[in-house]
């Protein structure tokens, strides 16, 4: 069984000679496949004997006039009254159906179009309108049949482009992706400048496992549309499917140049550069993600580890603290933070000499250039001094911390005995803050 028969698409829809497709010019009606046409003409009905107007003519003119005044609801009532009295005026019924479509009253519009088709089953405008309403009603199989027969019967007619678009949309709603692709390619031949259609066709080819076709389609448009983010994103995904990570990275770099906050592109690039060992570029794209999603714990932890790999323990410490604010129960990360605090504090011991107070203030400022977690580093410095038996320096650091953290009971309880021992209790009342 052929693919066309399997998807209930007329065979000749896809076998029209290419020469005809290229040579024929089509004009698409505005509004898409559901547009019925001009709703109400801008002139009234002419009648031979103006001195003796029939009631139906008066009712019809009134219905038209109400619509022109923007009173569509009242116009519908007037058309209904007219058609109840004189149901054989197909042009009036067509106008009535047009307004129903405009108001998205699909079920009633379908009934009116069915009546019109019973009178004139070969009318292409009735069939086209009925196909659009069928699609809106959810009668997708019927819409596929109607659009397909319209296009097949006259593929070079003035309404062929509209029928082709409708057929594609109906197949899309039906889920027949395989049948859509050749029709989309056919439509592209007739509307070569339609970028939206080009991207839709390329995306479908990619979804159907035909990345080479997608690439061939999209590359033709890239030169003229190098600033179209969706086009570049689709090309990047195409290169993914073709296993060309270098080219995919190039496209995603173009994409983030246009959209710096694109989370997916930045996440992909972060992984790409990390795999290549380029820690700096990986960190750049992680931090771009954090600008958009600043409380993403996983990203924060990733940034911490990347900073540490780059030899920036202070920045790593900042990110670890941010992470622990969000995930306080993570004991492994808490231990990691303590290790970095300890590493930073070790190098400070030898610097606490001479004029102690000024040295501590300078150390505080120096640590601040590396990390916002100065208190955490200084608490570890105090532990290091205590372990080394440097009581005087320990007292100075604890006194400094007390003035920075007056509510910290642990610091206060450890500081007071030292001050008493050294006879420096009066210093407890003097603020030596920076």
Instruction: List per-residue pLDDT tens for the chain, 434 residues long.
Output: 333 444 445 444 444 333 223 322 223 333 333 444 457 776 555 655 555 678 888 899 999 999 999 999 999 999 999 999 999 999 999 999 999 999 999 999 999 999 999 999 999 999 999 999 999 999 999 999 999 999 999 998 899 999 999 999 999 999 999 999 999 999 999 998 899 999 999 999 999 999 999 999 999 899 899 999 999 999 999 999 999 999 999 999 999 999 999 999 999 999 999 999 999 999 999 999 999 999 999 999 999 999 999 999 999 999 999 999 999 999 999 999 999 988 888 777 767 754 455 577 878 887 887 888 888 888 888 888 888 778 887 887 888 888 888 888 888 888 888 888 777 887 777 654 44
Cβ–Cβ under 8 Å, residues 419 and 399: yes
Q: Which stretch of DSSP H or E encloses residue 332? A: helix 331-346
Residue 430 CB neighbour total at 10 angstroms? 9
| Three-class DSSP category at 176 | coil
Compute, in degrees rounded to 10, the torsion defined by CA atoms 115, 118, 124, 128: 40
Are 324 and 333 in contact, with CB atoms under 8 Å apart? yes
Alpha-carbon gap, residue 105 to 110, rounded angstroms? 9
Helices 177-190 and 195-207, packing angle to 10 deg: 150
How many Å apart are CA 349 and CA 360, to the nearest integer? 10
432's CB contacts (< 8 A; 6+ apart) are 357, 361, 399, 400, 403
pLDDT at residue 389, as a whole number: 77
According to the model, what pLDDT value does residue 186 have? 95
Structure confidence at residue 350 (pLDDT): 67
Instruction: Evaluate whether 422 touches 395 at the Cβ level (below 8 Å).
Output: yes
Q: Is 218 exposed, middle or buried (0-12, 13-18, 19+ CB in 10 A)?
A: buried
pTM for the full predicted model: 0.73
Task: Give the Cβ contact number of residue 160 at 10 Å.
Answer: 21
**pLDDT score for 43:** 57
Q: What six digits make up the tokens of 159?
A: 């309404």
CA distances from 112 to 21, 83, 136, 139, 307 (A): 34, 10, 15, 16, 70
Nearest Cα residue to 37 out of 154, 122, 127: 127
| DSSP output for 235-287 | HHHHHHHTT-HHHHHHHHHHHHHH-TT-HHHHHHHHHHHHHHT-HHHHHHHHH
What pLDDT sits at residue 25?
A: 29
Q: Which two structure tokens, joined as six digits, stand for 10?
A: 């007329």
Q: Give the pLDDT confidence score for residue 34 in this predicted structure.
A: 43
State both tokens at 74. Answer: 């009242």
Q: 287-320 burial by CB neighbour count: b if 16+ within 10 A, else e?
A: bbbbeeeeebeebbbbbbbbbbeeebbbbbbbbb
């Amino acid at each position: 069984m052929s693919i066309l028969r399997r998807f209930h698409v007329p065979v000749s829809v896809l076998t029209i000679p290419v020469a005809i497709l290229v040579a024929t010019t089509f004009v698409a009606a505005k509004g898409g496949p559901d547009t019925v046409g001009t709703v109400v003409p801008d002139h009234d009905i002419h009648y031979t004997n103006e001195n003796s107007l029939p009631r139906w003519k008066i009712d019809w003119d009134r219905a038209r006039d109400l619509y022109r005044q923007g009173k569509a609801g009242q116009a519908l009532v007037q058309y209904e009254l007219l058609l109840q009295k004189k149901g054989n005026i197909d042009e009036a019924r067509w106008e009535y159906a047009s307004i129903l479509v405009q108001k998205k009253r699909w079920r009633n519009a379908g009934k009116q179009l069915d009546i019109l088709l019973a009178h004139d089953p070969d009318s292409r405008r009735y069939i086209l309108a009925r196909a659009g309403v069928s699609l809106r009603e959810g009668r997708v199989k019927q819409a596929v049949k109607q659009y397909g027969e319209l296009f097949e019967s006259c593929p070079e007619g003035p309404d062929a482009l509209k029928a082709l678009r409708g057929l594609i949309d109906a197949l899309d709603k039906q889920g027949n992706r395989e049948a859509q692709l050749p029709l989309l390619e056919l439509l592209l031949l007739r509307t070569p400048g339609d970028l939206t259609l080009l991207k839709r066709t390329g995306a479908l080819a990619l979804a159907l496992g035909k990345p080479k076709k997608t690439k061939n389609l999209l590359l033709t448009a890239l030169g003229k549309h190098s600033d179209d983010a969706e086009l570049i994103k689709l090309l990047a995904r195409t290169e993914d499917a073709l296993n060309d990570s270098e080219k995919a990275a190039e496209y995603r770099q173009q994409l983030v140049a246009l959209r710096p906050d694109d989370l997916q592109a930045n996440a992909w690039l972060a992984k790409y550069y990390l795999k290549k060992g380029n820690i700096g570029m990986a960190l750049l794209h992680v931090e771009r993600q954090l600008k958009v999603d600043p409380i993403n714990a996983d990203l924060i932890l990733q940034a911490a580890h990347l900073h540490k790999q780059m030899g920036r323990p202070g920045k790593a410490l900042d990110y670890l603290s941010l992470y622990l604010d969000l995930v306080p129960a993570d004991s492994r990360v808490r231990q990691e933070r303590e290790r970095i605090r300890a590493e930073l504090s070790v190098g400070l011991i030898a610097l606490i000499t001479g004029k102690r107070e000024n040295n501590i203030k300078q150390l505080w400022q120096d640590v601040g250039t590396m990390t916002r977690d100065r208190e955490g580093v200084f608490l570890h410095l105090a532990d290091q001094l205590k372990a080394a038996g440097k009581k005087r320096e320990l007292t100075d650091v604890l006194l400094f911390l007390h003035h920075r953290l007056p509510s910290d009971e642990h610091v206060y309880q450890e500081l007071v005995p030292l001050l008493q021992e050294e006879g420096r209790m009066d210093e407890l009342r003097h603020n030596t803050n920076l």
